[in-house]
A and B are shown apart, each in its own frame.
Chain A
Amino acid sequence: MSEYSILIGGKAGEGINTAGLSIAGLFSRLGYYTYMYFDYPSLIRGGHNFALIRASEKKVRAHRTPVDVLLAFDQKTIDNHRDRVRDGTTVIYDASQAVKAEGYGLPLDEIREEEKAPPITGNSAMLGALARVAGIDRGVYEDVLRATVPAKHLEANLRVARRGYDAAGEVFTVEPLAAPALPVLTGNEAAGLGLVYGGLESYVAYPMTPSSNLLHFLAARAEDLAIKVLHPENEISVILMALGLAYAGEKAAVGTSGGGFCLMTEGLSLAGMSELPVTIVMGQRPGPSTGMPTYTAQSDLHFVLNAGQGEFPRLVVAPGDLEETYAWSATALMLSWKYQVPAIILTDKTLAEGAFSFDIGAVAPPPDQEPALWDGAGEYRRYARAEGGVSPLAFPGREGAVVKVSSYAHDEAGFTTEAADDVRHLQEKMLAKGASLAAELATYPVVKVYGPHDAGATIICWGSQKGVCIEAAERFGAQVVQPLILAPFPVRQWKEAMIGAGRVVCVENNATGELARLLRQHGFDPGRPVLKYDGRPFAVDELEARLGEVIA
């Protein structure tokens, strides 16, 4: 099987992320599936950034530790990644910066000066050199540059890339595959497109890693996608604005991370009580508090499951790859409207900012869901009792309707009440909606099973850990079970998936085993924990080693 790993590293501000995406694009053009992990500290310039790109004939959603080619803009990249260098690793480095290195040294300062090219074109020199080392035709990387570099800088980049190409030699040959060139998207981009597919009309957010790029993406594409994108003063305003939009009939979503979600919790409770739909994209990163802003974790599961005062139903979905992110962002938004509940799409930095080949052909179109609208007969009551707990919607401006929503305990018309019977009915109505939502979800495949069922060993995982677990499980012939929905928890499907599971391990990117705790709450055995909580996702080989200790 043909498979390649490339690392490109340098200082923040040198465009490592963009360069990594170009490398992913290079392999994508040859028909390979690609994945990119981007590692960067929280600073603007300096420090050490690197992108790890993996390309393979089969679907890849995780990185491996060793690399075939190491592209280094500085000595730090050489020094920090010595453990990734094996026999056969080719090193390409900026000879004007790195001094202690072996491989192809590109005199980038000299090249840029001679070609009268701006500093950022160094990335193109690296891309050219990589293409040469990998035996990739000149025309392929030129295509990649044409697609990514703005027209006025294109010529300079092409010249510099050619210098890089000429300075290296062919080491191996990446054969083009007879497969289509799939687009390479981040999880944030897939979530944004999925939300719009599901009917999104407005996106409201305050910047916070790792969800800022969703805000940037939708803001840049607002005209193409016919949506409003708003950036108000803080996350409290964000969710209240979304609830105002929803009250007036417009489908809105918000995006944030743990710290911003803290501020949104009062708005989340308001959504629960007032029965206003809102979809929240919650990109996890390590906490508590500021934690490590640009790194990854799956440590907010119980926070999103329990956030807000009082008891109300919510939908929590944790997609594991781009296709699930796209389909379930659309579905979450539609279901939040159908059941008038908040929906949370739980991602993390690994998924949100990671780049993956996106195969729209592999996505079953999410089924259409329509909210129940008032038919105009009789007097309108916003919280009218109805089967399944879902009251028909009308919006202000509708002739003949007075639409009253409330954060206070209320009667069917929306007027404040503290009468015992009224508040009991209100609470039961809210819970009934949760039950209706759970019944509908039971008709979707929301517990996913991969690999042989009779393996005698099962790896449980959720969210972004799906890819690395499926790949590592192959070595042990193990089954992988992944819950896509975490609230309302799909108890029956889980029970069925775990019949004859054998030895069970639960892989998570957190310190306390949050999915394991949720499973125990529902009376299920989560098996043995395999946890990683240093802010980095598992590499496939790393997880294989860890699994070997517990299931081999």
Chain B
Amino acid sequence: MSPERFAGKPAGGLISPAENTWCPGCGNFSIQHMMKSAVAELSEEEGIPLENFVLLGGIGCHGKLVDYLNVNSFYGIHGRSIPAATGIRLANPDLKVICHVGDGDIYAEGLDHLIFAAKRNSDITVIVHDNRVYGLTTGQYTPTSPFGFRGRSTPGGITEHPINPLELMLAAGATHIARGYTKKIRHLKDLFKEAIMHRGFSFIDVLQICATYFNLTDYYNAHAYELQEGEVDIGRFESALGKIREWDYDREAPIALGTFYSVEKPVYEEKFRALTAGKPDRRALVRKAIQEWR
């Protein structure tokens, strides 16, 4: 990909030749196209070169997204995108590092990494494709499936309640927390752009419908609403917490979409920058260390 080739119309050139294998009607299409538009628009509006975007995927339907866009990518393993993303950001602060993860991927297998990335305020963006079911392994429950969900591994219905990932992220120290919905695509795109531009750890839980195993379209359409200006004070923990607790992914309640919390804090990767700045002659430093040993 050369930037010239896409001058004037970068979004069109961002679709890769890889064959798309998602089910018809899958929520992933919205996420893919809005990610493509967000990257293209940020490149134009903010002057970020396209080669400075890096997408990461875990394992599950969501992971295929990184194949479908002609953008630098790291197609990783189940639940492990986040530490790899942190490594990438540590190596090159110019890169915009975006993790696409699944709800099973990151809330089950990768939960420790998610919490710690929030805790250390790693300057990466995490976008959760939260369809609340395991799709690629054919329909088992996930950490955000509602109480009583009948999956192939739990035919009698689960007896656990879901976690509220937004509440978890707020508690863990995330500095930017939002929720989107795959049927509200322009809103979704704006959330993506805002999160990518946030300095520090940004997190978006995307309510993504699974057309095959758990189609909640009617439910979300009936309950979801966009947060309006002033409805939540995004700089205040308590205000964010109150709004985040309005719906707990389980009981019947209005489902707010938008940004719940956004604050600035020191970025993890920045404190390491000075150590490797410039082009130090490390061999000379090693020889000096041996020469002056104790």
Contacts and interface: CB of A to CB of B under 8 A. Distances in A.
Interface stretch (A44-52, A216-224, A448-456, A460-468): A216-224
A405 interface: yes
A255 B247 CA distance: 44
A223 B289 CA distance: 11
Contacts of A405: 73-75
A237 B116 contact: yes
Given A237-B112, A402-B51, A404-B75, A250 B286 contact: no
Contacts of A221: 289
B275 A244 contact: no
B73 A400 contact: no
Contacts, number: 186
Contacts of A222: 275
Contacts of B116: 232-233, 237
Given A183-B294, A249-B92, A415-B67, A241 B276 contact: no
B91 A233 contact: no
A232 B80 CA distance: 13
A408 B77 CA distance: 9
A396 interface: yes
Interface stretch (B81-89, B146-154, B199-207, B228-236): B81-89
A99 interface: no
Interface string A177-205: 00000011100000001001101111010
Interface string B56-84: 00010000101100111111110010011
B155 interface: no
A358 B286 CA distance: 14
Given A228-B272, A399-B3, A266 B77 contact: yes
B88 A416 contact: no
B289 A270 contact: no
Contacts of A193: 286, 289-290
Which one of B89, B94, B112, B275 has the greatest number of beta carbons of chain A within 10 Å?
B275
B139 interface: no
A538 interface: no
Contacts of B280: 226
B173 interface: no
B251 interface: no
Contacts of B49: 397, 399
Contact of A244 (B90, B282, B286): B90
Contact of B294 (A147, A223, A379): A147
Contact of A397 (B2, B52, B290): B52
A404 B87 contact: no
Nearest to A399: B51
Interface string B91-103: 1101100000000
Of the four ranges (under 10, 10 to 19, 20 to 34, 35 or more), the interface on chain A belongs to: 35 or more
Interface in A291-325: none
Nearest to B85: A244
Which one of A183, A226, A240, A401 has the greatest number of beta carbons of chain B within 10 Å?
A240
Of the four ranges (under 10, 10 to 19, 20 to 34, 35 or more), the interface on chain B belongs to: 35 or more
B7 interface: no
A240 B276 contact: no
Interface in A397-419: 397-408, 410, 414-416
Contacts of A252: 87
Contact of B72 (A197, A204, A358, A402): A402
A369 interface: no
B219 interface: no
Which one of A396, A400, A405 has the greatest number of beta carbons of chain B within 10 Å?
A396
A234 interface: yes
Contacts of B73: 403-406, 414
B51 A401 contact: yes
A360 interface: yes
A227 B3 CA distance: 34
Contact of B285 (A204, A226, A247): A226
12 contacts: A148-B294, A196-B285, A202-B91, A227-B282, A237-B83, A242-B87, A250-B90, A270-B76, A396-B51, A397-B51, A406-B74, A407-B76
Query: What are the 9 A-B residue pairs with the smallest beta carbon separation, nearest first?
Result: A244-B87, A183-B293, A248-B91, A244-B84, A226-B280, A240-B83, A250-B91, A406-B75, A396-B72
Interface of B: 1-3, 16-18, 49, 51-52, 54, 59, 64, 66-67, 70-77, 80, 83-92, 94-95, 112-113, 116, 272, 275-276, 280, 282-283, 285-286, 288-290, 293-294
Given A225-B289, A397-B52, 19 more contacts: A183-B290, A185-B293, A193-B286, A199-B282, A201-B276, A202-B87, A221-B289, A223-B275, A225-B286, A228-B272, A236-B83, A241-B87, A244-B88, A247-B87, A250-B87, A250-B91, A267-B80, A414-B75, A415-B17
